[in-house]
Amino acid sequence: MNKKNLYSTQEEKVLKFWQENKIFEKSIDSRPESNPYVFYDGPPFATGLPHYGHILSSVTKDLFPRYQTMRGKRVRRRWGWDCHGLPIETLVEKELDVSGKKEIETKGIGAFNQKACSMVLSYVKQWKEMIDRIGRWVEFDNSYKTMDSTYMESVWWVLKTLWDKNLVYEGRKVLMYCPRCETPVSNAEISMDNSYRDVTEDSVTVKLKVIDPDKYGLPDNTYFLAWTTTPWTLPANVALAVGADIEYALVKDGVGYLVLAKDTIVKVNKNLKVQKVFAGKDLEGVRYEPLYQIEKVKNSKDKAWYVATADFVNTQEGTGIVHTAVIYGEDDFNLGQRLSLPQIPLLNSSGKYNQDAPEFLKNKYIKDAEGDIVDDLKKRGLLFEIKPYTHSYPFCWRCGSPLIYNAISAWFVDIQSQKKRIIELNEKINWYPENLKHGRFLNILKDAPDWNISRNRYWATPLPFFRCDNPKCKEVTCIGSLAELKEKAKNYDDIYKSDKIEKVDLHRPYIDDIVLKCPKCGGDARRIPEVIDCWVESASMPFAEWHYPFENKKEFESRFPGQFIGEYIAQTRAWFYYMHVLSVLLFDSISFENVVSTGTILSEKGEKLSKSKKNYPDPWIIIDSYGADSLRFYLMNSVVMQSENLSLSEVDLKDIYSKVINTGYNIANYYKIYEDDYGKGKSLASKNILDKWIISRLQNTLIQVTRYLDSYNTVKSSREIKLFIEDFSTWWLRRSRDRFKSQSSDSQDAFSTLEYCLKNLSFLLAPFAPFLAEHIFQAVKSEDDSESVHLANWPVVDKGKVDKNIEDSMVKARKIVEMGHSVRAKEGIRVRQPLSSVSWNIDLKGDSEDLIPVILNELNVLEHKEGSGKKIDNLSELKVSLDINITDELREKGDVREFVRAIQNARKKEGHKPDDKVELKVESSEPLSKFLDKNKEEITIASGLSGIGKIDKIEESLDVNLSFQKAKFSLGKNI
């Protein structure tokens, strides 16, 4: 068990209060349905435990809804789970001890998916605990799930709608591909989790022999030099690419000749003598002997193994001649498409060479075969050079295997034709921070490729595309609903026993057994095996959670577009992007009006948080030690809310804990000490300048916090609250403590001001530190107030209470005090030693009469003396001088204060209440006895004594250092 902080226990009490009294439910029901603030919750994967990133987004998603609720809005908050896709499939593979598609299919897709379904929500309990404990209010148990058949049917509707708009097409495309997971990995997935790592591998430069060199004016035995970092692609070579305007040189090398870009000769670093120079375009069409005679390439109707020009060629790396394997590179594929080079795959789906590959490579995994290829080329004299090369290379974010480029057949949503509108509508979105709108997000929109929506996997919504078996027809039909499926299927009743969507499992393998009647030829059409990219699912959340358009049409339409979403910065490429794109394509509308993008939380040392490295403190320990409010406030006050990276700092968290949370509790406790002594809920009519000042500060804080929260800026709004708490505690309360002790009209004013400021502070704190806010509110609330601070309305600014002049004068007064204290510190005079006078050269204007006593009190100086010379108004020219001459009289006053303080401390330590009268016992000696006789009355009153007894010897005495001796004393029994 972690040692729980006092406030952590206090927070748990508040949680219980909320739960028992259904405060969350009331906070929704008490706001009119006609006045909604629409929040969309992006669904997380439930496949791991919640971490700081989830806590961060959960706090963001809690803060604005709480605030808007207080502004009178009804804020529905429903949790969602992202249930499909690779994360859960990877776990299932481990659990079932299978790897790769073949093994999964041998085991059975049914068993595989059943396992996925049973495992996908296995961390829900831990999530609920964390979400509850950090004070996030959300309908957790009533969550939507992307694996619900209603949800999946809505996703089918998406596909069908896009299909009918002619925005879906089948194509081959080079994609990053994981040979182990046997599926393409999207760009979003790669950049989201920073899948690139620096690796050092062998790069090779190979020689390709020119055929019929004399035809091109080249000598016999001329070779092209081509360079590659992926030797496994060499058997698939079908062309060489050169830059049309790059200069190439023919050089002599031993008995033969080489061709390479002139600029790269130096790098190749051989004593190569240039024989001849020509432009790249002069090499166009030159034929060469392939490194490997691939039969299918040789027999293809498409021409192969010749030089082509391409504009992606440069001379920065390699030889300026680029080896082109059409299927296994992005530039290669585009060039291959343009020139119609043969597209012959040499790999199977798991990254092993297939039966069309050279004999010695068949069935070998590409990475294991690279050594064999190098050896083979060396033996045949075709290897020019082999050299280690360090580059940044992508790895699968799930299984860690190196990704490869692979041209595979896939289904796409046409983004290019809609791009203009997608970019146009971004103008209507309010981004926080603002620079993302025309920076990162716009760039993503501009560069966006067509959306590959197919995945060659199992546990996801199946793509509802059915292809006719008839080789002469091959018509593809897209199904958009269960009803349409039933209508067009030949064997619906064999597979499904119900027409009700809730009772039908749309997952594989059941749907794979459906046979449709081809609308064109009447033949059998079967589903293509791919499933849908899970980003289509999470982007469908605004309507799919409602099972729109099959149900809840009104509910969805009245809640679209959403007003607020918030996630971390990587979602600009993922969820933010897909949400936006999908709603533009489907509804010609934006999907969300305001979006807050947070940064990423890193370890204290600035590294990515890593479970295996354990480079961050367990969030539970942090919550137990400082309370959830401290963590919430710390995050909301940090740069992570401006979309920057935050290195988690326990020191900074502690600072928030002590300056905001702890101070807040302390002020509330102070209030409780006096609440029975004074009247509650009295109107404010204080003439005391301290009161007028703090109330003006409160109003200004309210103005600022409201303004910043309305513009989604939690950093500045929380900073205003923090500054107010500091002023409230270190100045107002500090200077008002004595006022509470003497029961006068001024002390009632002090109490009423404390009450008023505390209550309003609880409102301001409510979105940020909901537990502390509740604690304070419960302490100060009156009978007319709402049951909970979170059911209250956001305070309205009382402009009449703003007094700019007093705030200005108080800044000056505090500066005088600060400088006075620093004079004392420099001279080594403790604060309890009264001094005779102080002077300053600044004009406090109309407030000087009220402020001078405040300053004198704080500085413990008896008198203010007008300084000579001109009064200034500029703080930077302020001069403060203290009379530091300590007379006997002043010294004695200092001793009295010192003694009183020592007695007060002892009273506190021994647990006496403020009203308890105690007896002081001292060891009598001549000077002390005299001192006490003289100051008896003052000491007795100031320290609440019943009397002073002098005795010879005290057994367990306390000490106090007086100027003339060290005095020993103890406190007597309570009388």
Nearest CB to Zn ion, comparing residues 116 and 178: 178
Indicate if 337 belongs to the active site.
Answer: no
Percentages (nearest 5) of helix, strand, coil residues in the chain: 45, 20, 35
Identify residues 487-546 at the interface with Zn ion (CB under 5 A): 518, 520-521, 523
Q: Give whole-number Cα distances, 812 to 844, 845, 878, in Å.
A: 7, 11, 9
The b-or-e profile of 709-732 (16+ CB within 10 A means b, else e) is beebbbebbbbbbbebbebbbebb
Separation between Cα atoms, residue 538 and residue 545, nearest integer Å: 10
CB of 123 vs Zn ion, minimal distance in Å: 22
In the bound complex, what is the minimum distance in angstroms from residue 630's beta carbon to Zn ion? 39
Q: Which is nearer to Zn ion, 349 or 401 (CB)?
A: 401
Nearest to 460 by CA among 29, 28, 117: 117
To Zn ion, the closest distance from the beta carbon of 180 in angstroms equals 5
Is 693 in the active site? no
Residue closer to Zn ion, measured from CB, 223 or 405: 405
How distant is the alpha carbon of residue 600 from its chain centre? 5
Size of the site for Zn ion (CB under 5 A): 15
Q: How far is the CB of 95 from Zn ion (least distance, A)?
A: 16
Token pair for 797: 């600014």
Tokens 């609308």, located at residue: 519
Give DSSP secondary structure letters for 882-924: E-----HHHHHHHHHHHHHHHHHHHHHHTT--TT--EEEEEE-
Choose among 2, 50, 72: nearest CA to 790: 72
CA distances from 364 to 77, 169, 345, 520, 695 (A): 52, 33, 14, 43, 78
Please select the residue that binds Zn ion; options are 181, 208, 448, 582, rule is CB under 5 A. Answer: 181
SS3 for 485?
A: helix
- Residue 476 interacting with Zn ion (CB under 5 A): no
Which of 575, 693, 732, 794 does the annotation list as catalytic? Answer: 575
Q: Using CA atoms, how far apart are residues 916 and 901, in angstroms rounded to an integer?
A: 16
Give the DSSP letter of residue 729. Answer: I
Rank residues 178 and 705 by Cβ distance to Zn ion and give the closer one.
Answer: 178
Out of 608, 654, 801, 815, pick the active-site residue. Answer: 608
Cβ(814)–Cβ(851) under 8 Å? Answer: no
Interface pick for Zn ion out of 114, 470, 924, 929 (rule CB under 5 A):
470
Give the ranges where 797-887 is alpha helix by DSSP (H). 804-827, 848-859
Min. distance of Cβ 453 from Zn ion in angstroms? 19
Residue 483, C-beta contacts closer than 8 angstroms, at least 6 positions apart = 499
φ and ψ of 614, to 5 deg: 50, 50
User: With contact defined as beta carbons under 8 Å apart, do 814 and 824 qualify?
Assistant: no
> What's the per-residue H, E or C state across 386-430?
EEEEEEEEEECCCCCCECEEEEEEEEEECCHHHHHHHHHHHCCCE
Catalytic residue among 535, 546, 693, 840: 535
- For the chain, what is the radius of gyration of the CA atoms? 39
CA 581 vs CA 158, 540, 570, 598, 742: distances in Å: 12, 11, 16, 21, 67
Look at residues 294, 313, 318 and name the one whose alpha carbon lies nearest to residue 304: 294
180 near Zn ion (CB under 5 A): yes
CA dist 674 and 552 (Å) reads: 55
Dihedral of alpha carbons 275, 276, 281, 286, sign:
negative
Nearer Cβ to Zn ion, position 473 or 878?
473
Binding segment (CB under 5 A) for Zn ion, from list 170-178, 439-447, 743-751, 755-763: 170-178
Burial class of 561 by CB neighbour count within 10 A (0 to 12, 13 to 18, 19+):
buried
Known active-site residue 575: yes
Contact 135, 15 (CB under 8 A): yes
Map tokens 């680029």 to a residue.
322
Q: Say whether 232 is catalytic.
A: no
Kindly name the residue from 273, 503, 611, 936 that is annotated as catalytic: 611
Provide CB contacts within 8 A for 842, sequence distance 6+.
812, 815, 816, 871, 872, 873, 875, 878
Residue 190 or 962: the one with the smaller Cβ distance to Zn ion is 190
Residues 382-441 that bind Zn ion (CB under 5 A): 396, 398-399, 401
Stretch that binds Zn ion, among 239-247, 459-467, 473-481, 829-837 (CB under 5 A): 473-481
Cis-peptide, bond into residue 619, ω within 30° of zero: no
Catalytic residue among 10, 41, 43, 692: 43
Q: Is 349 in the site for Zn ion (CB under 5 A)?
A: no
**Closer CB to Zn ion, 521 or 884, in the complex:** 521
Q: Is 173 a catalytic residue?
A: no
3-state DSSP assignment of residue 950: strand
Minimum CB–partner distance for residue 404 and Zn ion (Å): 11
Residue burial 485-520, b: 16+ Cβ < 10 Å; e: rest: beebbeebeebbeeeebeebbbbbbbbeebbbbbee
Q: How far is the CB of 470 from Zn ion (least distance, A)?
A: 5
Residue 556: CB minimum distance to Zn ion, A: 36
Nearer to Zn ion, 354 or 456 (CB): 456
**Shortest distance, CB of residue 517 to Zn ion, whole angstroms?**
9
Rounded to a whole number of angstroms, the minimum distance from the CB of residue 586 to Zn ion is 29
Of 191 and 778, which has the nearer Cβ to Zn ion? 191
Distance from C-alpha of 684 to C-alpha of 131, rounded to nearest angstrom: 40
The SS3 of residue 312 is coil
Query: Which among 113-121, 467-475, 730-738, 831-839 is the span making contact with Zn ion, rule CB under 5 A?
Result: 467-475
Residue 470 or 836 having the CB closest to Zn ion: 470
Closer residue to Zn ion, CB minimum distance, 477 or 662: 477
Handedness of CA 392, 395, 400, 403 (dihedral sign): negative
Q: Does 28 bind Zn ion (CB under 5 A)?
A: no
Only one of the segments 181-189, 321-329, 541-549, 857-865 lies at the binding site for Zn ion (rule: CB under 5 A); that segment is 181-189
- Smallest separation, CB 348 to Zn ion (Å): 16
**The token pair that represents 566 in the structure block:** 């918030």
> For Zn ion, which residue of 12, 475, 484, 923 counts as binding (CB under 5 A)?
475
Q: Catalytic site residue 608?
A: yes
Residue among 401 and 418 whose Cβ is closer to Zn ion: 401
Q: Which of 41, 82, 450, 847 is catalytic?
A: 82
Cβ closest to Zn ion, residue 474 vs residue 832? 474
Give least dist CB 525 to Zn ion, A.
Answer: 7
Q: In the annotation, is 165 catalytic?
A: no
Which listed range, 215-223, 270-278, 297-305, 463-471, lies at the site for Zn ion (CB under 5 A)?
Answer: 463-471
Among candidate residues 68, 563, 571, 699, the one labeled active-site is 571
- Out of 361, 468, 635, 928, point to the residue binding Zn ion (CB under 5 A): 468
Cβ at position 182, least distance to Zn ion in Å: 8
For residue 178, state whether it binds Zn ion (rule: CB under 5 A).
yes
Catalytic residues: 43, 82, 535, 571, 575, 608, 611
Binding footprint of Zn ion on the chain (CB under 5 A)? 178, 180-181, 396, 398-399, 401, 468, 470, 473, 475, 518, 520-521, 523
